[in-house]
Structure 1
Amino acid sequence: MSLDLKQIVSDFKNGLWAENPIIRLVIGMCPTLAVTNTTENGLAMGLATSFVLVSSEIVISLIKKLIPANVRIPSYILIIATFVTFVDYFLKAFFPGIAASLSIFIPLIVVNCLILGRQEAFASKHSTPRAIADGIGMGLGFTWVLVLLGAIRELFGMGSIFGFTLLGEWYRPMVIMVLPAGAFITLGILVGIMNQISREGK
């Protein structure tokens, strides 16, 4: 089977902007709102989710014909849970601070609608190269929005980014930015800006 490079590139680019999970499809909101109080947490959650997404899409695209239709969802969840467990133990072993910050939200990747949705909508219906491109694109799209959201909230809420102070002692931190309300406000403004950019680009 020949590879359609143009189609693969298109699958990759879709997740970055046109079908971005957060700002376009508005899925995966739980970690988006819960863990983006710092840039580091946003990056860690984005990379963890991307790893699980790409790995599960590869496996499911390879064995999709072997999975009976009536048990496909439980099968997908089992595969996803395997990779989530790997990520959970990896973070606890090598990055205990991040693992403690993300807490229950790493195990909850199993039920992230982005992960399961891409298995059902894409990996189970397309070739492995296309599934890899889709997984990487969606993962990076998810990650860059989490990082941007985390950077904005950390900057205005703490005066720093990745723990490095950017605003001096003169700055009075906006505490609301590191609270749940700050996540809703920042995400709403961000989605509005992105939608305006998309409209102007047409």
Structure 2
Amino acid sequence: MTEQLRDIINQGLWKNNPALVQLLGLCPLLAVSATVTNALGLGLATLFVLLGSNVTVAIVREWVPKEIRIPVFVMIIAAFVTMIELLMNAFSHELYLSLGIFIPLIVTNCAIIGRAEAFASKNSVPLAAFDGLMMGLGFLAVLVLLGAMRELLGQGTLFDGAHLLLGDWAKVLRIEIMQTETKFLLAILSPGAFLGMGLLIALKNYIDAKQQSQQDEPITEKAPRARVTSLD
């Protein structure tokens, strides 16, 4: 694996994560991450749009005038979002209803248009596809992690409603970690999303600071002690 590919992986999954670092796409991220299923559905949709739009932009970049590149990029993104919306409506209708307006709002996700402008329009198709994949996986990972935190604290379960995304067989994926008579509304509602996101950002910053401090520590080697003997 080349150094450039390693850098793309590091940028997408950690160093320049669209959710934790760039803080892009927070509206759907905070709104639909009450359960792992919703988070996974929106994350996969965003991943597909990122991948498809990056590849398409990289293909047509030589023929698009600079003056109209942004409107063209938005139209490309909107086309992929429409495809996702129609497919989800056809094959996962209940999840489609659950996500609601936040599926078409993927068009306005600045992470997607940002990668199209900053990377895909300046690089080859394979690199653009890999960048879209890594950025999408980074966004998906944060969505699923936040959804797991909120669902576990709010309902005591994981993968509740997984059959809405994966079919009836996925009902067996539901895990009940703890039984609760009443739901913990703070975790389920919007304030819980903000608190959870803040904790994830704080955790990432702590890990980065810890790694940086370890790199900055001077490495000192103990010099061997000289043995002095007297000559009589």
- The TM tier, using the shorter chain, reads over 0.9
Distance 2:58 2:34 in 1: 35
In structure 2, the residue matched to 1:185 is 195
Question: Is contact 1:12-1:136 (8 Å) kept?
Answer: no
Shift of residue 168, structure 1, vs aligned partner: 3.4
Percent of paired sites with the same residue: 43
Distance 1:169 1:50 in 2: 33
Is 2:71 aligned against 1:61?
A: no
Letter in 2 for 1:30: C
Question: Is contact 2:158-2:177 (8 Å) kept?
Answer: no
**Which structure 1 residue ranges, 5 or more long, are not aligned?**
none
User: What CA RMSD, in Å, does the superposition of the two structures yield over aligned residues?
Assistant: 1.4
In structure 1, the residue matched to 2:219 is none
Shift of residue 172, structure 1, vs aligned partner: 4.9
In structure 2, the residue matched to 1:159 is 156
Instruction: Tell me: higher relative CO, structure 1 or 2? Use CA pairs within 8 A at least 6 residues apart.
Output: 1
In structure 2, the residue matched to 1:84 is 81
Instruction: Give 4+ residue runs of structure 1 displaced > 2 Å after superposition.
Output: 164-173
Letter in 1 for 2:72: S
Work out which of the residue numbers 11, 32, 36 in structure 2 matches 1:35. 32
**Which structure 2 residue ranges, 5 or more long, are not aligned?**
161-173, 213-232
Could you say what secondary structure the match of 1:17 adopts?
helix
Is 2:120 aligned against 1:108?
A: no
Aligned residues: 199
Shift of residue 165, structure 1, vs aligned partner: 4.3
Question: Is contact 2:156-2:180 (8 Å) kept?
Answer: no
In structure 1, the residue matched to 2:23 is 26
Distance 2:126 2:154 in 1: 41
Deviations 1:7-37 (A, max 9, x none): 1232133100111111111111111111101
Question: Is contact 1:52-1:83 (8 Å) kept?
Answer: yes
Work out which of the residue numbers 8, 11, 14 in structure 1 matches 2:11. 14
Q: Which has the larger radius of gyration?
A: 2
Question: With structure 2 as the length reference, what TM-score do the two structures score?
Answer: 0.82
